[in-house]
Amino acid sequence: MPQKSLLTDTEKAVVVKRLAEGAKSLEIAKELERDHRTIKKYLEDPSKVYQRRGGSYEKSVTPREKRKLKREMARTPLATSKELFDAAGVSKGSKSTRCKVLKSIGKVLKANPRPSLTKSHKEKRVQWAKDNMKTDFSKVLWTDESRATLDGPDGWARGWIMDGTACPSRSKRQQGGGGVMIWAGIIGGKVVGPVRVQQGVKMNSQEYTKLLDQCFFPWYRKLGRAAKRDLIFMQDNAPSHASKFTR
């Protein structure tokens, strides 16, 4: 295990406590995941204060530059360290140096994903809920495609925000990043499918009707007459689901 920086005050306290309990320095090094030589060097002279040969480190940024970075972080939340330093006109330095400076005024978070709902969408959803308050949903077959994606920017992108501020949200894409798509239905605690959609297939009206022929209708034909009569097929009104061709 390579040597790291000097022991922190917390690690020093752990070393003293474990030695008092009779633990050996090698055991303590494994517990702290530190190099054994670092532990031994501290035990040789616990009171020694480290002095850098070239003198103390110069500050990476001045107080004025830090204020500029703080303003940019408030103006453009979730920006990268390079973007913040560029916008503030501060010399960039290495990524580790930039992040060390920004940690003193903010933190890294991932945006809260949110669907792009318009006012019309919200009104229609409320009206749908009112119209179906007495609907027996145990007879509703809920169907949809689901996609497990490796969506880069929407899935794992992170950026800096100021301490004490709420994390903003970011619109997520319906189909992004690439992945595996499946179709399935749920009714009364039972699952219809799931069926994997072949790689590279675009879910248009033609492909959607083929999918229903392969997995929905074979299941539907096995139902009794009463179940067929009461069944409600629910879809999310996507273009391929609600097109004239599909109907």
Supply φ then ψ for residue 59, to 5 degrees. Answer: -65, 140
- Amino acid (1-letter code) at residue 221: R
Question: Are 195 and 130 part of one and the same domain?
Answer: yes
Q: Would 113 be classed as within a structural domain?
A: no
At residue 154, the pLDDT reads 46
Average pLDDT, the chain: 81
Tracing tokens 């994903």 back to the chain, one arrives at 113
pLDDT at 99 over 50: yes
Quickly state the pLDDT bin for 129 (edges 50, 70, 90).
very high
Q: Would 112 be classed as within a structural domain?
A: no
pTM of the model: 0.41
> Using one digit for the tens of pLDDT, what is the confidence trace for 222-236?
889 888 888 988 888
Q: Is 170:111 a contact under the CB 8 Å cutoff?
A: yes
Question: Are 234 and 123 part of one and the same domain?
Answer: yes
What is the per-residue burial (b if ≥16 Cβ within 10 Å, else e) of 41-53?
ebeeeeeeeeeee
Q: Is 141:232 a contact under the CB 8 Å cutoff?
A: yes
Q: Would 110 be classed as within a structural domain?
A: no
- Amino acid (1-letter code) at residue 133: M
**Which has the closest alpha carbon to 211: 200, 195, 224?**
195
Question: Are 129 and 193 part of one and the same domain?
Answer: yes
Indicate the number of domains in the chain.
3
Three-state DSSP state, 70: helix
Question: Are 170 and 72 part of one and the same domain?
Answer: no
> Using one digit for the tens of pLDDT, what is the confidence trace for 48-85?
776 666 555 567 788 898 899 989 988 888 888 889 99
Q: Would 201 be classed as within a structural domain?
A: yes
What is the per-residue burial (b if ≥16 Cβ within 10 Å, else e) of 90-112?
beeeeeeebeebbeebbeebebe
Supply φ then ψ for residue 121, to 5 degrees. Answer: -60, -45
pLDDT at 155 over 70: no
Range of lowest pLDDT (42-46, 81-85, 99-103): 42-46
What is the per-residue burial (b if ≥16 Cβ within 10 Å, else e) of 126-135?
eeeeeeeeee
Q: What CATH number did the domain enclosing 13 receive?
A: 1.10.10
Range of lowest pLDDT (155-169, 190-204, 207-221): 155-169
What percent of the chain shows pLDDT beyond 90? Answer: 5
Question: Which domain range does residue 76 map to?
Answer: 63-104
Range of lowest pLDDT (44-53, 100-109, 205-214): 44-53
Question: Are 100 and 174 part of one and the same domain?
Answer: no
pLDDT at 146 over 50: yes
Question: Are 124 and 237 part of one and the same domain?
Answer: yes
Question: Are 91 and 41 part of one and the same domain?
Answer: no
Span between the terminal Cα atoms of the chain, in Å: 66
Q: What CATH number did the domain enclosing 238 receive?
A: 3.30.420.10
Strand partners, 232: 140
